[in-house]
Structure 1
Amino acid sequence: MPTVFVTGAASGIGRATVLRLAGRGHRIHAFDVDADGLSSLPATVETHVGDVTDEERVRAVLPTDLDALVNCAATYELGAVEDADWDDVKDQFRVNVFGTLAVTRAALPVLRANDGRVVTLSSVLGRASLPLHGVYAGTKHALEGVFDALRAEQDDVDVVLVEPGAVKTGFNERAKAGLDDEQSPHRDLYDRVSDHYDPGGVPPERVARVVVEAVESPTPKARYPVTGQAWLLLACRTLLPERLYDRVALARVRNRSVFRASLELVTSAVSQRFVRALGRRR
């Protein structure tokens, strides 16, 4: 039975991943700062309370027979880049980037010895940002860049990124609580988001299925975008001119029909490129 170490294991995607892996017979080590959340996991799961940025604690609990590391720990606050509380900015980078790197660097020697792999929860926002998500997207952009390099550097360790779109974990509801700056020049946008923004999304179990596939596959992909929203946002980011993408991104957080607006703009962009290509051939 393979041994898997999962961070951010007490809730959300991390918890769903632990439950699915445990149900498939893996030996699980679950790591999180939330002791209460860890205590409600099945008795077969070995739990460890700790912060991902505490390298000494991480090294103390990493199993020597580790086959896979799954990085799920993250934190998130909504808000305009201009308004973001500086302590929140630093905390998001501390957990999402430095914590993920601390655990990964600690685990690599063991994983290399066992021909293991690292599966890291990034986000579609790591390649396609949205208004009010700038700091969080920045942390995920950082992870994408670092783990792209890490993947190329490793001969004996597979490095995989999972990139979900919106997921129903309560993350967005908690993050919206920060949109209360009455003096912000972005007050109108905050009011729209607070009153109407519903990113939709899939249950965390849907993403967990993909994470487990990445853990178990004999030939894992480098990236796994998850959900139709993720694929659509990436298509918009790739095909649309920058200013046009900005309009789609703003429509997304203002709770307009992102699929309708995005599909119309993507279709228009593809059609224009096709017409130009035909013109060049003539």
Structure 2
Amino acid sequence: MNTAEIFNFPVPVVALTEPRVADLEDGFTRIANELLEAVMLAGLSQHQLLVFMAVMRKTYGFNKKSDWVSNEQISGLTGILPHKCSAAKSALVKRGIFIQTGRAVGINKVIGEWSTSPQKGKEKDAYPKEVSLPESGNKRLPESGNDTYPNQANTKDKHTKEKKDNSNKTNKSPKSVSFDPNNAELPEWLSASVWAAWVSYRRDLKKPIKSQQTVTQAINLLDRCRLSGHLPEEIINQSIANGWQGLFEPKSAKQQPRQQSRVTENFAGKDYGTTEIPEWARD
């Protein structure tokens, strides 16, 4: 006999489903605006804020001031692990944001009793009043903690360090006073404005004049150039125009223009003597 096996495949649902819309008719949680604004300014962490909303939903959502809300219930609403929910709830109780009576917990509506969250890096750590030092100096610090504790342990490193510090203090040289080339004494033939232009140019080149010796050598070079017929401003302007860092004496001195003297000779007034005519030319 021939038998046939029938397979029933699932029929897809083609009917459109309407999206679910939140509506007040399905229930709502009433909270004072002042309380909601205080929560936003409280600086809560993400876990603490979610736990606050979960407790608010389980209390104010049922018109209750407080109720027993287990960590598993909070975890089901927030998706946070139960032990982390417990830690966040304990932190809110410690700050006064939650009021816990036995197993019941609720929101503290007296906002003035909330404590602010400490800023990072400013938490106060508990330091012991008495600290035991190692064997090299087994003494205790004062209770106030404000006095300095002298290190009385005699070690080789201590003596070496003190000797090194003392030697560094004695070898320090005094700071040198900055030199201003504009205050240098200039000769009468050198204009102060021309010299100031040269000083400013050197400063712009990041090569300032730092000593009186440099000023003296520059003045001596300008003096030699002046005696050779070159003006000091010409030497300085030449270096500035060419972008030179120093002053340079020209290779050749300026030649003074020669004055041509015109002499008129009196050839008629000169005595040239007598010339005898040879015999062969007399006839």
TM-score by length of 2: 0.15
Report which of the two has the higher share of strand. Answer: 1
Report which of the two has the higher share of helix. Answer: 1
Q: Which has the higher contact order (CA 8 A, sep 6+)?
A: 1
Structure label with greater radius of gyration: 2
